[in-house]
Amino acid sequence: MSPTVDPAIKELFGGISPPDAMNVGGDKPIEGLAKFIGFGIQMFIVVAGIFMLLYLFLGTFDWIVSGGEKEKLVKAQNKITNALIGMLLIFIVLVVFNVFAGRILGIVQYNTDGSFSIGIPTLK
């Protein structure tokens, strides 16, 4: 037997209801998982881009403060080169992912807000 709640208290605090899967899928957990995976991929791309930019800035800073020393200058050039190669690799991975998963397999669904979710195959 559940205790009854005074209507004034319920009006003040509201009712209790279970969460709707972090508001990503509602009563459809597969859609929630697909949006979660899509969000994870997007966050990985953003974090990788931020780290590559920081590494590029670190290389340019090292170049500026190298004072003309050959060894420090070569290390700074290597940092800048590695950061640019990393940016190129991320761009190539995004293009290949978009073409392969989006166009060929059709498992990527693009949302109206610019985000995407992964279509998870299910049995019916």
Average model confidence (pLDDT) across the chain: 79
Question: What are the distances in angstroms from CA 10 to CA 14, 16, 20, 114?
Answer: 5, 9, 21, 39
Helix H or strand E segment including 116: strand 116-118
pTM score, two decimals? 0.60
pLDDT digits (tens, 9 = 90+) for 36-61: 777 888 888 889 889 999 999 999 99
Higher-pLDDT residue of 76 and 107 is 76
